[in-house]
Amino acid sequence: MRLPSSLALTLGALLVLAPGSVLAAPPEQPPAPFGKGTIVPRLGLGVNLGDDVSSVNWALGAGYFVVDGLEVGARVSGLHLIWDAGLKSELPGIEDELPGTLVDVTPLLRFVFFRSPYFSPYAFGGAGPTFVTNNAPAPVIGHWTAGPGVAIGFGAHVFLDISVSFSGRMTVATCEEAFTDTFESAEGPVEFELGGLCRWRWSPGIGLGVAF
């Protein structure tokens, strides 16, 4: 009888065709971000309110990925001090004697440990000069910055950038000298030092980023 042979051939054909349907091509995945040739512009603006002095901060920069995951860039940022009216009345001339503006020029390196369209952790670091206004004892001092961060992708070119920045001035003694002076007040000579700008500090950051 030939019926068993026909049945065997039919089953054989089914066994050959079935694996083809299981191994269908998976859906195409989004490309990994921050590859070689990617350009990332950066722009920032912030305000810090204090009792004796407030400040307005701005930053402008850009980076270029020379290889996959490694960005070389630069940033120019400024800090403008706004003295409290009461303090200016108590210590006349303080806004003229102490620096009112600091401008940082910072070459930066950024390394992305894992490039994912959805979650890309990175670390960054840099150091450079700080230009100080108002005839400071040292018109140029140094600064450094470093920290971790993560980019959370929202599409092909947009991501949420979350980071923690650690920074400080170099040297601390030179910076503190620039922000210390003696003023005449109603009670006689008073030495005033603006603290918080020279020693190391940390600050969280969050913002939207774009990459081309």
Q: How many structural domains does the chain have?
A: 1
Dmax of the chain from CA atoms?
Answer: 123
At 30, give phi and psi (nearest 5°): -60, 145
User: For residue 64, what are the domain limits?
Assistant: 3-210
pTM, entire model:
0.79
Q: What percent of the chain has pLDDT over 90?
A: 42
**Across residues 82-92, what is the average pLDDT?**
84
Compute the average pLDDT of residues 167-180. Answer: 87
Q: For the chain, what percent of residues have pLDDT higher than 70?
A: 85
Please give the structure tokens belonging to residue 117.
């369209």
* Count of Cβ atoms closer than 10 Å to residue 175 Cβ: 24
Where does the pLDDT of residue 27 fall: very low under 50, low under 70, confident under 90, or very high at 90 and above?
low
Token pair listed for 73: 């860039």
Q: What pLDDT is attached to residue 116?
A: 92
Please check the confidence at residue 10 and state whether its pLDDT lies above 80: no
Domain CATH for 193: 2.40.160.20
Alpha-helical runs (H) found in the chain = 3-22, 85-90, 94-97, 172-178
